[in-house]
Chain A
Amino acid sequence: MVLLRKEPKSEPTEKWEAQLRKGCLELAILACLWEQRLYGLEILRALEQNSNLVLAEGTVYPILARLKEDGLLQSEWVEADAGHPRKYYWLTAQGRQRVVSMALFWNGFSANLNLLLKPVLNGKGRA
């Protein structure tokens, strides 16, 4: 997975980005599973297409394990017609409730933050 960077970033910025990614990853994984059952690599592909949240592929699986422990996901090994079995994940009723409340919070949170960032992005008040 390639993370494109337009310019070199300072260490504190990288740390902040890493924390932000980590915080958002759980919501992104739950959102990927909203419409269908997916196995690990399919979840990664969905994340790759729609975000740059994942830096190391292997780190998605521990989060899936925890979400399952928390009762938000359920999983099952499914034999493939060709190839090897794959572990599919889907949202439980509790997981669906959680992702809705997280999405609502995110919506309000990001809208407010975007308002706050508007002058910064428009270049106003530049020192």
Chain B
Amino acid sequence: MNFMTSHPMIESYFDALATQLADLPAAKRDEVIRELRAHVADRLEQIAVPTTDDCRSVLAAMGTPVEIARQYRLELVLSRSAWKISPWSLLRTLFRWTLTGIQGYVIFIVAMIGYTVGMCLYVTALLKPLFPHNVGFFWSEQGVNLAHFPDPPLGTEMLGPYYIPFAVFFGFLWTLGTTLTIRYIIRRFGKLKQKVAGMAVSA
């Protein structure tokens, strides 16, 4: 790694690419970036004394990080298992963003709330057979209550034993919805980062 291959323009390009590929498993993402870095290094090695302009044209010939990530998505669409759907991995990615500013922090909190609601629904489904009077869909003037200990919650239990499939179904729906929302935000956020990187490249 010489001065040029660690040029800030190249670093911001690969940072943007890493963000675009955030939903690829870490090992695969690192492999992609390692290979494309080797390509950039090869191209720069062909030039006796590479300048910042050479860096810019080598990166321009590669295509934008958005375009490359889009191609990876298209090409690897058949092996969808390669793409992250695990809430844990997504939360880890988001947690790294919380360090980058308020935007990342807000997204992380929203994701935490989403997964917590999903998990609560699953937990209440598990508890319903053990505590049928304390857990359920209790409707009262104060609103909906799912569980209360040691006394039962206020209101009337609406679903009885049907609460279990209800909670499992909506728990799944809530978790899936949160996951898809985060993935969407990751892409949008990534584009934002790409714009910043693009400004650095054209500066």
Contacts and interface: CB of A to CB of B under 8 A. Distances in A.
On chain B, which size bracket covers the interface?
20 to 34
Given A61-B32, A61-B68, A66-B76, A86 B61 contact: no
B39 A56 contact: no
Interface string B132-156: 0000000000000000000000000
Interface in A34-81: 39-41, 56-59, 61-63, 65-66, 69-70
B43 A41 contact: yes
Contacts, number: 65
A57 B76 contact: no
Nearest to A59: B71
Contacts of A63: 71, 75
Interface string B64-78: 000110011011101
A87 interface: yes
B36 interface: yes
Interface of B: 1, 32, 34-36, 38-39, 41-43, 45, 61-63, 67-68, 71-72, 74-76, 78-79, 82
